[in-house]
Chain A
């Protein structure tokens, strides 16, 4: 559908959208989704390898959809959206890794008796 002529009322940010891009993003996402699903159902590898493979497939699909569905690119117009995305990724990593770190630490340092005592004193965890 790149055959349109004249000015478009579509916002400039969306003009990089193309049928080929959508089809590529869609087909790629299906392949990545089904591949991840088959890995789990077949349970073909050890846990560590499986987790790394799943995370990798998810991140590739994330990038694919950002580019082909949300039309993120390096042009001047989009640069600020990219910076916002970067800031978001940092905050998300701090929240997720920080929570797991703190709660994991708490979990290993407290004995069940201490946990019970804490729960009684605080009325819950």
Chain B
């Protein structure tokens, strides 16, 4: 490699690094505003929590072992997502695809448990129209579920893209942003798990 080529390579790398930095910071700003959206929903939930209007309270409808499984599945998907990023660092394409496939499946399991739970609530007559508590519950947990759905779609598109064009710098950047999004959803879930489910089940 001549000195000129080396310098050009260095410039490309620096430029790519700048694009990475801007993309990651921009995406981080989006994640923080998304936190504010969730804060609004958490506040609504906290205010309406006891307004059961003759309907069931949280401790009567939450299936806690199921919620624990749901939580651990999401946590594990966060872990496999991180391992996917690590595999991208060492340019192991098949490992990246494997870990993100695992993340996708775990995310799908989480979403299935959540939707099955929603469906059984609705068939029991405890839908979002039942009480203020249930409206706030469905909106808060449902918004998180919607984010998970969008994350899964994004993941599917990105996996196809990597299959077609390989681990390019742009694809690794997208992978990084997706991992931030996915870990962020796990962060939000900590508070849903604690405030909605644990405090609901403990009646505190």
Contact = CB atoms under 8 A, between A and B. Distances in A.
Given A22-B82, A84-B29, A87-B32, A66 B20 contact: no
B78 A54 contact: no
Contacts, number: 156
Given A69-B183, A99-B47, A10 B39 contact: no
Given A11-B21, A17-B89, A99-B46, A37 B39 contact: no
Contacts of B199: 51, 54
Given A9-B91, A9-B169, A70-B180, A81 B25 contact: yes
Contacts of B47: 99-100, 103
A91 B194 contact: no
A95 B39 contact: yes
B83 A22 contact: yes
A65 B183 contact: yes
Contact of B90 (A4, A12, A65): A4
B187 A62 contact: yes
A11 B24 contact: yes
B202 to A, nearest CB: 5
B167 A81 contact: no
A37 B82 CA distance: 25
B88 A10 contact: yes
Contacts of A18: 86
Interface in A1-34: 1, 3-4, 7-15, 17-19, 22, 25-26, 29-30, 33-34
B44 interface: yes
A118 interface: no
A92 interface: yes
Interface of B: 13, 17, 20-21, 23-25, 28-29, 32-33, 35-36, 39-40, 42-44, 46-47, 64, 68, 71-72, 75-76, 78-79, 82-83, 85-91, 167-169, 172-173, 176, 179-180, 183-184, 186-187, 190-191, 193-195, 198-199, 201-202, 204
8 contacts: A4-B90, A8-B91, A9-B88, A33-B72, A50-B204, A61-B190, A62-B190, A99-B46
